[in-house]
Structures are given as structure tokens and as C-alpha cells.
Amino acid sequence: MIDGWYAPPLSGDDARPWSVDQLSDYLATGFQQDHGAAAGPMAETTLNLRQASPSDIEAIAVYTASLSDGNEQKMTPIDNQNIEVSPSTHSLWVGACANCHEQETGVGPSNALPLSISAALRQSSSANAVRTIVDGIASYRDDGGPYMPAFGDILTNEEIVKLSQYLRRRYSDEGQWSGLEDEISKARSSADGKE
Ligand code: HEC
């Protein structure tokens, strides 16, 4: 854990497989179209890497890609569309999230990926999904980089719990997260106090 975010071991199942080109792109810009946006401390890291030379970034990418099996460079989409969901949670999803996240192909103007290939929703820890929902993704790029609004002030804890459980069931084949309430409280206090 770093600043409340979960940094998955790059050789383990919680990290996605990356190619050298994908990593170079991601490290240099903070965004890669098959993998999504850097968030939390990783966003700061990619911002700082703007000062690194392309050959240094390439070298980091070559090493990092060697830590995982680089053959499979995309997540296999998971979308259990037909699971049961309460009408209130479904309307939250449709009203607040689906516009950006449900398109089947490519990325919309805000650079959101379909959550069917989300790594955060498949990870053993709910930390990254919860923090992304509470804090959003700040667009620090001047060319209209990835952007997601912060929902911490808009949604209640209960709504975030229900939404997270729905997305976990719909977009992963993993068991339900425990301790979501705690994770939301932690995300709220670090968002306020910037720990
Ligand atoms: C204005 C567009 C927009 C809206 C609305 C939006 N998001 Fe996002 N979201 C993004 C972008 C951009 C990213 C970063 C790129 C990516 O990974 O898709 C992101 C990332 C995420 C991630 C992390 C994905 C990963 O694996 O890294 C989750 C989870 C998520 N959003 C959930 C939600 C939920 C839940 C809602 C509704 C409450 C929502 N989003 C609304 C744009 C949006």
C-alpha cells in the first residue's frame, strides 16, 4: 500500500500483462488505451517522468515488461450482465457512470475504458476502485487527458458500497470484497487531509 493506494506486485496476478510499447506509452503520458489511466501516486510518477528522456523510459519499460508474461497484452473482458441488481443501484450506475464506462469499444472523450477490462475491479484489494470513485481522476494534462469526476461528495457510503459490490460481481469473477465501509472511510479521510 502506498498513500492508501494498492500497488500490485508487477509479476503477480493483480497486475496486467504489458508490452514494452504499452508501458513506454503509459509511463510517458500517464495513459494507455488498453490499460487506462495512472491514478494516485502513479499519476505523480508519470508526471515526473515527463522530464526523463525517451530512451530512459524505454529502458524502464523493457525491464518492467520482463517481470510479467508479455504475450497477453489485453485483459480478457468480463461482463456478467445478467446479475441481479437493485433498481436504486442500477439507476446510479446508469446515471452516474455508464455514459463513460459502458461503451463496448475504444475510449470516449474522457478516455474512460469499459469496466469489463478494469484491473481495479479484479484486484484482491478494493482500495484502488474505492479511491477512484471517491477521488476521481484529475486531468493534469493540457491536451485533455483522462478525467473522472470525484464522487466522494455526491454519493453516500452506502451508495458507494452497493455500487462497488455490483461492479465487483458484474465485472470480475472474484468473490465479494469485505471491509468496503472501512476502505471508503480511509479514502475519504485521505482525500480531505491529503495524507
Ligand atoms: C466523465 C467520465 C467518467 C465518469 C462519469 C465515471 N468515470 Fe470512472 N473513470 C473514468 C476515467 C477516464 C478513468 C481512468 C481510465 C480508466 O481506467 O478507465 C476511470 C476509472 C475508473 C475505475 C478504475 C478502473 C481501473 O481498473 O483502473 C473505476 C473502478 C471507475 N472508473 C468507476 C466509476 C464509477 C463507479 C463511476 C460512477 C459512480 C464512474 N467511474 C464514473 C471516467 C469516468
What's the pLDDT score for residue 30? 92
Domain match, 128 and 173 both? yes
Beta carbon of 123 within 6 Å of any ligand 1 atom: no
Beta carbon of 119 within 6 Å of any ligand 1 atom: yes
- The CATH number assigned to the domain holding 180 equals 1.10.760
Decide if 125 is inside a domain.
yes
DSSP 43: H
Number of folded domains in the chain? Answer: 2
Decide if 102 is inside a domain.
yes
CA separation for the pair 96, 185 (Å, rounded): 21
Decide if 48 is inside a domain.
yes
Tell me the backbone φ, ψ of residue 139, rounded to 5 degrees.
Answer: -90, 110
Q: For residue 123, what is its C-alpha cell?
A: 484486484
Decide if 136 is inside a domain.
yes
Tell me the backbone φ, ψ of residue 132, rounded to 5 degrees.
Answer: -65, -40
Domain match, 39 and 101 both? no
User: Of all protein residues, whose CA lies closest to atom 39 belonging to ligand 1?
Assistant: 97
CA separation for the pair 123, 154 (Å, rounded): 25
Report CA(20)–ligand 1 centroid distance (Å): 25
User: Of all protein residues, whose CA lies closest to atom 34 belonging to ligand 1?
Assistant: 97
Instruction: Tell me which residue range forms the domain holding 40.
Output: 20-66
Count CB neighbours of 145 within 10 A. Answer: 18
pLDDT in tens, the chain (195 residues): 999 999 988 887 777 778 899 999 999 999 998 888 999 999 999 999 999 999 999 999 999 988 876 666 678 899 999 999 999 999 999 999 998 898 655 566 678 889 999 999 999 999 999 999 999 998 766 666 788 999 999 999 999 999 999 999 999 999 999 999 999 999 999 866 544
Decide if 73 is inside a domain.
no
Half-sphere CA count of 175, side-chain side, radius 13 A: 3
Residue 158: helix, strand or coil by DSSP? helix
Q: For residue 18, what is its C-alpha cell?
A: 504489458
Report CA(111)–ligand 1 centroid distance (Å): 9
Beta carbon of 117 within 6 Å of any ligand 1 atom: no
Decide if 162 is inside a domain.
yes
Beta carbon of 184 within 6 Å of any ligand 1 atom: no
Residue with cell 464506462: 101
Give the predicted TM-score (pTM) of the model: 0.91
Domain match, 62 and 109 both? no
Domain match, 136 and 98 both? yes
What's the pLDDT score for residue 106? 53
Domain match, 183 and 101 both? yes
Inter-CA distances, 135 with 49, 56, 69, 139, 176, Å: 23, 31, 31, 12, 22
Domain match, 53 and 136 both? no
CA 82 and chain centroid, separation: 23
Count CB neighbours of 138 within 10 A. Answer: 15
Domain match, 62 and 121 both? no
Domain match, 94 and 165 both? yes
Domain match, 176 and 97 both? yes
Domain match, 183 and 150 both? yes
